Amino acid sequence: MRVLLPAVDIFYSVGGGQSFYKQLIKANPNIEFSYLIRNESDKANRPSNSKTINYDYKFPNLHVLNPSFDFSSVPTYARLAVSNAANIAYSARGLNFDVIDIPDWEQNGCFLRFFLNHFNVKFSKIALSMHGNISKTLYSNWDTSNHDYSSIEFLEKAQYLGADIRYGISEFYIEEWEKRSNLRADYLHPFTFFKPEKSKPYIKTSEVPSIIFFGRTEKRKGPDFLTHLAWMLPKNLFTKALIIGPSVPLENKTTSEDVINILIKNRNLNIEIKESVTQATMQEFFTQSNLTVLPSRYDTFNLVALESLFAGCPVVVGKNTGVVGFIKKEFPTMPIHVLPMDDLATCIKVLEHAIENYHEDRKAIAKILETISTRTFSSKSLLDIYEQPSKRVRETDIPFDEIAKSFLQICSENPSAQNNELVTTLHL
């Protein structure tokens, strides 16, 4: 089976989505995956079942309009998605696949089917890989509470309905979408791709663990909440913390890192911020006296929590995350400390308890991990999911194909916009 992942630089970029796809590729050697590269080297170390496609940026990014071109006939809400979909499909022009596996943090799926057909990309199905919608992040970020992202939500729902197949690793998130659409996605058990390795020996580096946070520093992930917790902890229980993860831009020309640095400075906290670390370095943190604290206000799953626990490192995590239900269902005796998030005083008590019981928790986790290899679980494989018949719901509220045709027509009438020969003949 041949699968196209319209994601960029999977074995170069750092992020939860890239981490998921890396592990998915490695865990399914019977499937050939192709993905796009822009900055990743052709010689990068990657599995033999992964192929690369150069990302050909042939169409204008309508998210930043060039006044030389009149794209006013393309609705504002569709401009980023339609231009991205065109570039993805053009990059894969003339190739053959069985499945196009698109991530739901983009909205390209509304237009991708049209452009794939237009550029003679052969495929049987489009599968939607469910990780989390950008609208949720935008609504919960700093300085965006008064913004209206309903058009993005509309595209996200249309993309969900318009896919042939939908799958996710979080039952929590699958149920959320089922309530929203009355259409259930398939569940892919995390252990079909997440392969816990034998954890490295614990190196006790201190009596009181340091606090460590991994993830994008957007508000939804709760890095600011971590500073509140650190500030209110008894001084004998907190010495230092580390926030590791990429900063995100905010609409007032600042970044999430700027916001967090102000909180750290005003409270005189011993917290360091690092942009990112390698997967190997992350695993080293888990072997030392560090407590992984992930105070997400909302997270469809949170693979970092799983990676930490299965490396033997205790975890404190926000209640409204998919990983909490997964651990409680699959490993009911596994120590995991859950923050209610809407009750700061109780959150402080939960964190205090996690710090005070840190070394005991490590012993308990190590004992549970000894039995992991004997555990069985029931789940469809990725191949099973891909081979299912289509359950596509055709969306008719908005003529997405007409928007795509209009976009191509404008490009063909503006030779300086792109190479004119690419778009003059429409496959309607």
Domain identity same for 266 and 413? no
Q: What is the pLDDT of residue 421?
A: 42
Domain identity same for 254 and 305? yes
Domain identity same for 11 and 105? yes
Query: Residue 295, SS3?
Result: coil
Domain identity same for 180 and 243? no
Domain identity same for 214 and 324? yes
Domain identity same for 400 and 320? no
Rounded-to-integer distance, Cα 192 and Cα 382, Å: 8
Domain identity same for 397 and 282? no
Using the structure block, give the residue that is written with the tokens 């891909």.
386
Q: What is the CATH number of the domain that holds 154?
A: 3.40.50
Q: Is 205 part of a structural domain of the chain?
A: no
User: Digits of tens for pLDDT over the chain (428 positions)?
Assistant: 999 999 888 888 666 677 889 999 999 999 999 999 998 888 888 999 999 999 998 888 765 556 566 777 788 888 899 999 999 999 999 999 999 999 999 999 999 999 999 999 999 999 999 999 989 888 888 875 577 889 999 999 999 999 999 999 999 999 999 999 999 999 999 999 987 778 889 999 999 999 999 999 999 999 999 999 999 999 999 989 999 999 988 877 889 999 999 999 999 999 999 988 888 899 999 999 999 999 999 999 999 999 999 999 999 999 999 999 999 999 999 999 999 999 999 999 999 999 999 999 999 999 999 887 656 677 899 999 999 999 998 765 578 999 999 999 888 877 555 554 444 433 33
Q: What is the pLDDT of residue 415?
A: 59
Q: How far is CA 392 from CA 149, 160, 192, 276, 308, in A?
A: 25, 9, 25, 38, 37
Q: What is the pLDDT of residue 42?
A: 82
Query: With left for phi above 0 and alpha for psi between -120 and 50, is residue 182 left, alpha or beta?
Result: left
Closest C-alpha to 313, from 389, 216, 204: 204
Q: Is 193 part of a structural domain of the chain?
A: no
Q: What is the pLDDT of residue 371?
A: 82
Q: Is 392 part of a structural domain of the chain?
A: yes
Q: Is 82 part of a structural domain of the chain?
A: yes
Rounded-to-integer distance, Cα 340 and Cα 418, Å: 52
Q: What is the pLDDT of residue 347?
A: 98
Q: Is 358 part of a structural domain of the chain?
A: yes
Domain identity same for 19 and 157? yes
Domain identity same for 230 and 303? yes
What are the structure tokens assigned to 378, written together? Answer: 């029931």
Give the strands of the sheet with 241-244, arranged side by side.
271-274, 241-244, 210-214, 290-294, 315-318, 337-339
Number of folded domains in the chain?
Answer: 2
Q: What is the pLDDT of residue 190?
A: 93
Asked whether 302 and 296 are in contact (CB, 8 A), the reply is yes
What are the structure tokens assigned to 369, written together? Answer: 């991990």
Q: Is 136 part of a structural domain of the chain?
A: yes
Q: Is 428 part of a structural domain of the chain?
A: no
Extract the runs of DSSP E, i.e. beta strands, from 173-311.
186-187, 210-214, 241-244, 271-274, 290-294
Q: Is 198 part of a structural domain of the chain?
A: no
Domain identity same for 16 and 71? yes
Domain identity same for 221 and 322? yes
Q: What is the CATH number of the domain that holds 288?
A: 3.40.50.2000
Q: What is the pLDDT of residue 226?
A: 97
Domain identity same for 114 and 225? no
Query: With left for phi above 0 and alpha for psi between -120 and 50, is residue 341 left, alpha or beta?
Result: left
Q: What is the pLDDT of residue 231?
A: 96
Rounded-to-integer distance, Cα 394 and Cα 392, Å: 6
Q: Where are the alpha helices (DSSP H) in 223-302?
A: 223-232, 256-267, 279-287
Rounded-to-integer distance, Cα 333 and Cα 393, Å: 41
Residue range of the domain that includes 227: 210-374
